[in-house]
Amino acid sequence: MKDWLGQQLKTAITSKPAVKTRRWLGIGPATVANQEMDHIPVPGEVVVYFSDVANKAYQLEQWLPTLEKLHERHPVVLVFRKVPTLRHFRKLTDLPKIFVRRLDDLVNLYDFNDFTLCLYVNNGVANFQSLSAARLVHVHINHGESDKLSMVSNQAKAYDKIFVAGPAAIERHREVLLDFDLDRLVSVGRPQLDLDFETPLPHFAGRTVMYAPTWEGENEANNYTSVDLFGEQIIQTLVDLPGTRVIYKPHPRVVTSTFPAVINAHLRIREILEERNDAGAHHVIAETENILALFESVDVLVTDVSSVGLDFLYLHPERPLVLTDRRNDLTALNREAPISRACPVISEDSRETMLSDFASLLETTSAEDRRQMSSFYFGDRKKGDSTGAFLAAVDSLVSDRQEQLKSFLFHSNAIDSGEVE
């Protein structure tokens, strides 16, 4: 049966994509399902499930180098539920890909192949269709480490394991979730930060400050952006600093926002920087560049509660970091986002004082406080350790599940043969 399926897969790969026809694609009979496949020579061991549209592709993109390393020891298949998203990733990676439109086809894909483990980089609603597969180990790996409210929800209980960055995430789950088994949490650090990046920017003799705001979130409770409240004032302050290059790196969903206050502030920030550049400055509007590569040129980061600040903290704890607080409640922020205890915070109450003497403000920040906070979020890991921890955790889960399945099949066969009752 498997040999026959493999031959059908090869036929499908060499055929035109998106063909509407009845054929076997290793996922059961596809009835005018508009299946699309790319780089899939054989079934794999690990599924990476991504059901979202292409404008959320950044959630998976940051994992690609780590997944490519994982592919060397456990064959990986990327499973998409949207054709444009698959086509987007075709340009970014040679990892095997498959588009599965219907739930029936997804169920058949899992049933007809020997996948052992499934990884999820977000909490998309359609994840629950994939979670219905009982044989797989379902592991949530998320797409960042941050103190946003969305980082912890009851959805965590749906997964067999949740890979987290370190002690802060464990404490977050402990404080927020009731009746949650903390043994489901596996600390692996932040593998995406193990890579080495070359800055895409030319050398600049002065100081480089990045303003990297997050987006407005799906609802008010998850809204941490500073763009609409402080963005223009922050940028105006930075461009007025002598000998300073400013990098504006908004979250991808700021650029595509439909929230009038956010998109208007974003456009005004662009105007300010473009006007200064027309006058001879060297500021950078970086809407598509890799932020981790840009960090190599950054001396100071101003950002919101998001994974961006924590990534910078891990990679460059010696460099100043400034946070914003749109809720104007420092006590709550210190409790909900511990990193805020180790850096200055721009809020409605503090912005005039802080931004009026921004350069002096940076001199009062403590690198030692940031180093201690980095250990709280990521553990005592050095660069490179997280990838090893991630791969070892996957190795262990795959091995354990394969042994469980062997034992289960042996017992089932014994029952069928009448050897046991």
Spatial contact of 166 and 379, defined as CB atoms under 8 Å apart: yes
- Estimate to the nearest angstrom the gap between the alpha carbon of 393 and the chain centroid: 18
What is the per-residue pLDDT across 305-359, written as a single tens digit (0 to 9) for each? Answer: 999 999 999 999 999 999 999 999 999 999 999 999 999 999 999 999 999 999 8
Confidence at 415, pLDDT banded by 50, 70, 90: low
What is the distance between the alpha carbons of residues 372 and 16, in angstroms, rounded to a whole number?
A: 55
What is the per-residue pLDDT across 116-125, written as a single tens digit (0 to 9) for each? Answer: 999 999 999 9
Confidence at 108, pLDDT banded by 50, 70, 90: confident
Tokens 């592709």 appear where?
57
Domain 207-378 in the same topology as domain 2-143+392-400: yes
- Average pLDDT of span 53-69: 94
* pLDDT at 397 (0 to 100): 97
Task: List CB contacts of 201: < 8 A, sequence separation 6 or more.
Answer: 208, 247, 284, 294, 297
What is the distance between the alpha carbons of residues 73 and 67, in angstroms, rounded to a whole number?
A: 10
Domain ranges of the chain: 2-143+392-400, 207-378
What is the distance between the alpha carbons of residues 400 and 379, in angstroms, rounded to a whole number?
A: 26
CATH of domain 2-143+392-400: 3.40.50
Please give the model's pTM, rounded to 2 decimal places: 0.83
Spatial contact of 82 and 53, defined as CB atoms under 8 Å apart: yes
Q: What is the mean pLDDT of the chain?
A: 88
What is the per-residue pLDDT across 86-95, written as a single tens digit (0 to 9) for each? Answer: 999 999 999 9
DSSP H/E element including 308: helix 307-315
The pLDDT of residue 170 is above 50: yes
Domain 207-378 has CATH 3.30.465.10: no
